[in-house]
Chains A and B, each alone.
Chain A
Amino acid sequence: MNEDLSILLSAGLSKQGINGSIENLEPLTGGASKETWKFNLVNSSKSSRMIFRRGSGAESSLAIRTSDEAKIQEEVLKKGVPVPEIVLVSNSNNDLGNSYVMKFIEGETIARKILRDECYKSALPLLAHQCGEAIAKIHNTPLKNLQFLPKKSPIQLIEDLYLLYESYKQPSPVFEYAYRWLKEQNYGNFEDSLVHGDFRLGNILVNENGLTGIIDWELAHIGNPIQDLGWICGNSWRFGNSKKVVGGFGDIEDLIKGYNGISNEKINAELIKTWQVFGTFRWGVICLMQAYAHLNGSVNSIEKAAIGRRVSETEIDIVDLLLLGGD
């Protein structure tokens, strides 16, 4: 199968006028619904490291088409967002399927390594500010070429999640409470923006100087921009470092300073907290969705079964945020 993929990649690239042989093609671990491979493209003058990413056809209902992720990366790169440069985009009519090839960017994605390993110690104090800037640049991206993306108001997002939660018929008093609370909040008058949708450790690349790249655009959509800031502050993405509100590594003041330095919109901690509650509810519903993929028999997976018992982590976080003054 690797050899077949090698041939297809080589053919696809040469159609774009990029010639060379495919070497060291290896699968990378990553999201369950996408394949990711790394390889070297070697020609007479040089060897370049590349990444190939392909949808399995069994993506979550929340995800966009894999080839559309590439189009977003091309657009945000123009605004100076650090993302891998796109080399080739293929759709489902082509031999390579719904996929794309991008240039390799150096950096670590694994949260626990970034938070614990000595070599990232120098990066951690810089990261919240850098993330704020990068998120603001994403939100500044013109939408003209991104009209294919789903557009959702805060209320639509809340209703969609609630419907998904309800479809599993597993009642959660905390989710019911959060749903009522979320519907009553003021989300401000923000211009529709490109939202990454899953900006957190795991989906960003980090080296000893901090942020080097942003990947995994499959939950991108157009909507209220503050969602991205609330998401990265959720306790689910602090990986046990709960005192560091931003992603387990930084302080909210630094995130806001980074964001406000670039963005036309000025934001504050209170708005972020509302979206943090939303994000926690969203992650809870995603956990439910994964568990029911196992329970309904579409996949048999111990990981997916186990994640069903992580719904209560999001419930205790919502209780802490809304009833016990947590942050």
Chain B
Amino acid sequence: MIFDRPTNIELISAVIDFLDLEIKEELPPHLAFKLRIVTNVLKIVQREIDLGDTLSKDAQDLIKEVIESTQEPSLIEFASSIKEGNIDLDKESLRKALIGITKSKISVDNPNYSTFKKLVE
């Protein structure tokens, strides 16, 4: 990596802090509500930068257990093989892949979501 610190994640943190500590107080309620959405979105981006590559790689490994593919299989291939009925819905590796990939996605999108919290506890 040729870039200096702050890293991309650190830069986004600085933006989140600025919005939360200096801007939020100044806003009327309907904009303060939108600002909460903005900071949530920035946190999604941070988590994706941090975990995205690893989680996508894990997903590929899970998909490979379900479908035979010559190269690295994609989510598109995985979805279409379920659609085309090539996979038995009771297959254990399918179950494992659906659970694993979905947990990975929600861990980036919203790790505070009730169902995710219940499942990791």
Residues on A facing B (Cβ under 8 Å): 29, 171-177, 179-181, 235, 238, 240, 242, 302-303, 305-306, 309-310, 312-313, 315-317, 319-320, 323-324, 326
Residues on B facing A (Cβ under 8 Å): 30, 34, 37-38, 40-41, 44, 75-76, 78-80, 82-83, 85, 89, 94-95, 97-99, 101-103, 105-106, 109-110, 113-116, 118-119
Q: Which residue of B lies closest to A162 (CB)?
A: B83
Contact present for A316 and B80 (CB under 8 Å): no
Least CB distance, B111 to chain A, in whole angstroms: 11
Contact present for A313 and B110 (CB under 8 Å): yes
Name the one of B34, B40, B114 contacting A240, with C-beta atoms under 8 angstroms: B114
Contact present for A176 and B82 (CB under 8 Å): yes
Q: Which residues of chain A are near B41, meaning CB under 8 Å?
A: 302, 305-306, 309
Least CB distance, A316 to chain B, in whole angstroms: 5
Contact present for B110 and A312 (CB under 8 Å): yes
A180-B82, A309-B109 given; A173·B98 CB < 8 A = yes
A317 to B116, CA, bound (A): 9
A310 to B97, CA, bound (A): 20
A320 to B97, CA, bound (A): 13
A238-B114, A316-B116 given; A173·B78 CB < 8 A = yes
A323 to B101, CA, bound (A): 13
Contact present for B115 and A320 (CB under 8 Å): yes
Name the one of A172, A181, A317 contacting B115, with C-beta atoms under 8 angstroms: A317
Q: Which 7 A-B pairs have the closest CB atoms?
A: A171-B79, A242-B114, A176-B82, A312-B105, A309-B109, A312-B109, A176-B83
Contact present for B101 and A173 (CB under 8 Å): yes
**Overall SS of chain B's interface:** helix
A309-B109, A323-B99 given; A173·B37 CB < 8 A = no
Contact present for A315 and B105 (CB under 8 Å): yes
**Overall SS of chain A's interface:** helix
Least CB distance, A325 to chain B, in whole angstroms: 11
Contact present for B79 and A309 (CB under 8 Å): no
A171-B75, A309-B44, A315-B105 given; A242·B115 CB < 8 A = yes
Q: Which residues of chain A are near B79, meaning CB under 8 Å?
A: 171-173, 175-176
A57 to B98, CA, bound (A): 39
Q: Which residues of chain B are near A316, meaning CB under 8 Å?
A: 102-103, 105-106, 113, 115-116, 119
Contact present for A324 and B119 (CB under 8 Å): yes
Q: Which residues of chain B are near A181, meaning CB under 8 Å?
A: 89
Contact present for A310 and B110 (CB under 8 Å): yes
Q: Which residues of chain B are near A324, meaning CB under 8 Å?
A: 99, 119
A302-B37, A310-B109, A316-B106 given; A177·B114 CB < 8 A = no
In this complex, the member of B75, B101, B109, B110 whose beta carbon has the largest number of chain A beta carbons within 10 angstroms is B109
A320 to B30, CA, bound (A): 34
Name the one of A29, A312, A317 contacting B30, with C-beta atoms under 8 angstroms: A29
A266 to B118, CA, bound (A): 32
Least CB distance, B27 to chain A, in whole angstroms: 14
Q: Which residues of chain A are near B103, meaning CB under 8 Å?
A: 316
In this complex, the member of A171, A312, A315 whose beta carbon has the largest number of chain B beta carbons within 10 angstroms is A312
A319 to B89, CA, bound (A): 13
A173 to B78, CA, bound (A): 6
A312 to B110, CA, bound (A): 8
In this complex, the member of A29, A174, A175 whose beta carbon has the largest number of chain B beta carbons within 10 angstroms is A174
